[in-house]
Every structure is written in structure tokens, then in C-alpha cells.
Amino acid sequence: MAINLEEPKKFKPLVGQAHQVAMNMLRPISRKYDRAEHEYPKELDMLAAMIDGLSESGAGEGAGAAGVRRDEKKDDGGVKNGANLASVLSIAEMCWGDVGLLLSMPRQGLGNSAIASVADDEQLQRFEGVWAGMAITEPGTGSDSANIKTTAVLDGDEYVINGEKIYVTSGDRADHIVVWATLDRDLGRAAIKSFVVAKGTPGMRVERLEHKLGIRASDTAAIIFENCRVPKENLLGSPEIDTKQGFAGAMATFDNTRPLVASMAVGCARASLDLTRDLLKQAGIEVDYDRPAHLQSAAAAKFLQMESDWEGAYLLMLQAAWMADNRQPNSLEASMAKAKAGRVGSDITLSCVELAGSIGYSETELLEKWARDSKILDIFEGTQQIQQLIIARRVLGLSSAELK
């Protein structure tokens, strides 16, 4: 199967719509919710209703984080541009508008991606239309997610969940939380399963909201589970502990969500590049894409180098999503996309602040905000260092025990 690295024609209307929404609905409220941290961006309700409408009409296939399921249809040998590709393209456009607001969109949480990735058909139907946050990180466990301490013990027809989760994006606003817990700590990573917990379930409570460097429009919550009982049908996927499969079940979520995070970085960096090119032009510096960089001013040469970094991230993002659409194993490519986009996203947004000088640092423009917002995209869903570790293991053919 060959990949065509151009934006598929069939997604042009979707990308165009997402760009309009980003420009006309997200940008105008960007600064407002950067300043009003923890205040719910009520304007998003109308936007979410519009996106629901698009999805129902079929026009919005994959327009958001919930569209990352790998369908089980028989492979007819054809090449498919599907929901994963549509999602990364539309999310990049929305993040050209505002990453924090995109992360606050009702029903588009990372928990929705987890449900789409791991749920069986019955669960998919039961949880349709929910807004789900994703709770993996704990006070003692971040990158080493195989070491989570939160437990789920079967008691009759229910699992009883106990533990503490921190830094849960949309943890307060979402109506459901997908929480990772272990069925048996002695059995290691294979015993880790994800559970869907509805807001209001006794035993689950939001302890506090965090104050942050960037994505301030997005709420980030610490959540306590104390004898929290959920129906046993809320365990996503199979309850079997398959030690041979190891962590693979839970990790499948990341193969779908890492390209999405890459797309957020791609979108935010694009915003910085577009504005900086305009500011340079106003200052009399024209970036000429057809002339060698060393024949242009230092600022233009720097800009061209950033463009090529951006292009690399964009292409890796397309590749990882396209592979998911075509049911090819993409763990390596998902990590490569996330690593490249996370890193160059932070570099580009900060370099744009630098190139624009005092305007870049000032709140009159959004460049300083984008530099703050983009940093998280190199941290959550696996940091830069963790992506590099995963890539090295895969390239060298080493296990997690062999390369730590």
C-alpha cells in the first residue's frame, strides 16, 4: 500500500470548516479564557452542538477525538483515508485557533478516544455521546504508567475502585472519566484495565483544579476514588488478564491518541508561523520560499528552517494517522509523530516569540500564549524522552526490560 502525502480532496471541506471555526469562534475568545482560568468557555456548547450536527449528517466524519476507532471491516486491499486522518487534519486546524479550547470541547476528550479505541460494540453504543476525561497519572506515577497503584476489585457485579489520579484534563467538566486501575498488582502491567466512571458516582470526587503555564482554558483536575463502585460492564474491552499480551490492550489507546496530540502541536506551531510571517513582512522582511536560505536575512533563514521542521512533523502526523486508518501497526510511527511534533512545536512557538521581539513577548499578540500552550504537547500522552525511548526500543528490537 502506498501513502499519498497530500491532503485528501474529500477532507478539504472538513478542514475548511474547522479553519473557519478556529478563526471566527476560537481565536476571538482565546485571550479571554487564558485569563479566566477555570471558567467554563460557555461559547463551546454551541460549537459542540454544531459538531454533533455535522457528525450526525455524516459530513463531519472523524471531526474530533472520538473518531479514532479502527473498524473491523474486512480489508478489501484498497487504501483508505478514514476517521483517523480526518481527525488529525481537523484537530490541527482547531488548534490553529486554540489548543486549550480544543481540549475543552464537550464530548471530544481523550477518554472518548480511549473508548473508541478499546470498547466493544455494546460499550461503544452505551457510551455514545458521553464526554470522557482520561485518568492515568497518579502522584507517584507519570511516565512509568505500568506502575499505577489504583486498584479495581470485583465484588459481585461491580468493581470497587480505590486510588488517586492527578492532572486529568477535563476532569471536572467531563461527564465521565476513563480511569486506569489494576486488577492485581502482583500480575504487573497485564492486569491494568480501564474503567468508565460516570460523574456523580458515589466515591469519585474532584479534589482540586491545577493552575498552569498554558492551556489555561482547559480544566486539569485531581480526582480521588474511595470505594467507588462501577458496574462490571464498565471495564473496557476484556476482563481477562493475558500476561502474554502484557500492556498491549491499554497501550492501543496511545497508538490512536499520540497522532492527535501531534496534530495539536502541528496546528499551534502553524498559528505561530503564520502570524510571525505577517509580522516579519510588516517589518520589511519577506520570506522567499524559492531562494536558498543562506541568501536571505538571518530572520528569513531561521523562518525557513522552522518551516522544514514543521513539514517533517506534519508528514509524520499524516503517516501515523493513515496507518491507523489502514489497520497497520503504528506504535513506532505514532511515537515518532508525537516526538517530532511535540519538540518542534515547542521550538517553533518559542522561536517565533524570539523573532518577533517585544511584540512576541507582549500580550497584544497571541505568540507568547502559543509558546506557553505548546509545551504541554511535548509532555502529556508520553513525554519527549519517553517517545524517544519507545522509538529506540522498536528500532533496536529491545524490550522495555532491556532498554529503560
Ligand X SMILES: Cc1cc2nc3c(=O)[nH]c(=O)nc-3n(C[C@H](O)[C@H](O)[C@H](O)COP(=O)(O)OP(=O)(O)OC[C@H]3O[C@@H](n4cnc5c(N)ncnc54)[C@H](O)[C@@H]3O)c2cc1C
Q: Which residues belong to the active site?
A: 381
Of 354, 344, 342, which Cα lies nearest the Cα of 311? 344
Which DSSP symbol is given to 22? I
- Rounded Cα distance between 176 and 158, Å, is 17
Q: Are 284 and 360 in contact (CB under 8 A)?
A: no
Provide, rounded to whole angstroms, the least separation between the CB of residue 170 and ligand X: 7
Q: Phi first, then psi: what are they for 198, rounded to 5°?
A: -75, 145
CB of 317 to ligand X, least distance (A): 19
Residues that bind ligand X (CB under 6 A): 110, 133-137, 142-143, 167-169, 212, 215, 220, 376, 379-380, 383, 385-386, 389, 404
- Residue 174 or residue 269: which is nearer to ligand X going by CB? 174
Query: Closer to ligand X at the Cβ: 365 or 373?
Result: 373
Q: Would you say 130 or 134 has its CB closer to ligand X?
A: 134
Give the shortest CB-142-to-ligand X separation in angstroms. 2
Residue nearest to ligand X (CB): 142
For ligand X, the closer of residues 167 and 310 by Cβ is 167
Distance, C-alpha 14 to centroid of its chain: 19
Per DSSP, 141 falls in state B
Distant-in-sequence, close-in-space partners of 240: CB < 8 Å, separation ≥ 6: none
Question: Which residue, 123 or 384, is less far from ligand X as judged by CB?
Answer: 384
> Which has the closest alpha carbon to 143: 384, 323, 403?
384
> CA 334 → CA 95, 119, 123, distances in Å?
19, 20, 25
> Rounded to an integer, what distance in angstroms lies between the CA atom of residue 369 and that of residue 375?
10
User: Pick from 373, 319, 244, 213: which is nearest to 1 by CA?
Assistant: 319
CA dist., res. 212 & res. 140, Å (int): 20
Question: What are the distances in angstroms from CA 56 to CA 51, 53, 185, 363?
Answer: 9, 5, 42, 39
* Residue (142 or 203) nearer to ligand X, CB: 142
Q: Tell me how far apart the alpha carbons of residues 395 and 397 are, in angstroms, rounded to a whole number.
A: 6
Q: How far is the CB of 155 from ligand X (least distance, A)?
A: 25
Q: How many helices (H) and strands (E) does the chain have?
A: 13, 7
Q: Which is nearer to ligand X, 143 or 364 (CB)?
A: 143
Report, in Å, the least distance between residue 220 CB and ligand X. 5
Residue 132 parent element (H or E): strand 132-135
Give which of 172, 148, 150, 171 is closest to 160, Cα–Cα: 150
